[in-house]
Amino acid sequence: MAMSSGGDPEKPMSDINATPLVDVMLVLLIIFLIAVPVAIQAIKLELPKVKYDPTTTKPENVNLSVKNEADGTCGVYWNTTKVKSDELLKRAVDKLKVEIERQGGVGNPDLELPEAHIRGDVNTPYRCIGGTIYTMQMAGFARVGFISEPPAGAPTSRL
């Protein structure tokens, strides 16, 4: 511990003794160094290494574009037509019904349902894209995917 020597014994000492503060900080540092690795639990995963797979576009697939409008609302476009959330749900349900009937009904073992492909603008909030995904899943679309643009010259095959 540090001690002050000299000076006027009648005058109160105005210096702060920093030694106990440093001792406490070192103890806290050691506690955190020991506790942090215990608190962080990571599950070891081997994620698939995929470059960009080219999208096979079928005419029955639904192409949606989602962007943030100037007024802050979510703009969802079915091909090039702007739709609201309830209209998107109705169109999606109708599209599935027509496609199922075209392929011979639900009993057809070779039934291939259309997919929903979403192109989201990079500046679009997740609530817009998430709401579009939710609406398409509510309509019955089992496959909802994202369309992205690979960097120029990027390979388009699996590793």
In the chain the domains, ranked by start, together with CATH numbers, are 62-146 (3.30.420.270)
User: How far are the Cα atoms of 32, 48, 89, 121, 136 from residue 53, in angstroms, in the given order?
Assistant: 44, 13, 28, 20, 22
**CB 66 within 8 Å of CB 132:** yes
Residue 94 has pLDDT above 90, yes or no: yes
**pTM to 2 decimals?**
0.61
Kindly tell me if the per-residue pLDDT of 42 is higher than 80. no
Whether the per-residue pLDDT at 88 is higher than 90: the answer is yes
- Quote the pLDDT of residue 57: 75
